[in-house]
A and B are shown apart, each in its own frame.
Chain A
Amino acid sequence: MGAKQGDRLYAQLSYEQVVRQYAQSVSSVCMIRLQNWADAEDCFQNTFIKLFRKSPDFKDQNHLRAWLLRVAINECKNYIRDNRRHLSLDTALELPAPCAEDDADLSWALMKLAPDYRDVVYLYYVEQMKVREIADILGKNQNTVKTLLSRGREKLRQIYGGDGR
């Protein structure tokens, strides 16, 4: 690690601490969004590059996490827009998934959702963010987020077959 890295603090965290603490969330968002490991890695790296270059001031760690997720989602959107590459579900399933079978089923069901539903469901259930925070990250109204969350949950139940918890 370079000397510059230790000089900067992000919500009382060093850059390395930030990377290690939020790599899971950022990678999950990118993977669920892009459904491709290589593309998810690009967006993952771009997210932390932005963090390092811009080094914004964060009020607390929640703010930091929300900023990282928002940047990660935007990076994924930009990546899809720039590459115009639509991955099929079969392609995503062919990728090695280092997780259990049930988790892979859930990920498969989640990826079958539309992107809007997928983001809301993931942020709400996986990242356990509040509706207000999701609305801030996605730039949408809270009622819209609630609607997307309700419909996404229903669609996920139809796809996966089970009860949401």
Chain B
Amino acid sequence: MSMLRAQLRAEMQATLRNGEQLLLTLGIPVMLLVFFSLVDVLPTGTKDPVDFLAPGILALAVMSTAMVSLGIGTGFERSYKVLKRLGTTPLGRSRLVVAKIGAVILVEVVQFAVLVPVAYALGWRPASPNWVGALGAVVVGTMAFAGIGLSLAGRLRGEINLAAQNGLYLVLLLLGGMVIPFGKLPTGLSAVAKSLPSGALADVLREALSQTGSRPTTSWVILAIWAVVTPITATRLFRWE
């Protein structure tokens, strides 16, 4: 347990001392939520933009932590042989993975502790929110995004992984139904967007928190498939060095 605690502390130190990761996990979601809630330029289709944006930004927060932050950090650790070095200590690979999962969960808790009050401050008033359902969606979404992030991190070189994760983040942000509704995308693109984990998670969160999901059951199935397939893919693709 003490080994796990030590590694978890190291993971949190690495996250909190990295300005880019803080910007990615907290800065950008907060800025997007505040800016587009106050400046009504997005075709959200809701009376108040924050009603559409808040669940989407929570989904974005999960994606930024579980996929991009975890993926970039792990990719560089792999490049710098940190994983190889830790693999020779009593920590072992299984505790290392558990510590990384723990760090992702802790960061997500911090994100929600910041984003939910900000959304409330901006006027978000979800009707009878199902927080347990939302928590379930976050867990499944975390699995899906972590699988993607680690699949890339486990194969690509540090710098290429960095570019790939950031590029994917941007694509999923724009196509994922987080800030732009599926209905506002061209038909073909909309079909693709709905099958992405970002879109599925945003839709499931909208249904759980404000009963405004466009097709929650289908989105749950899509999200669950991603959550099974991507961790398996990561396990198969991942190279420790």
Asked if A and B bind, the verdict is: no
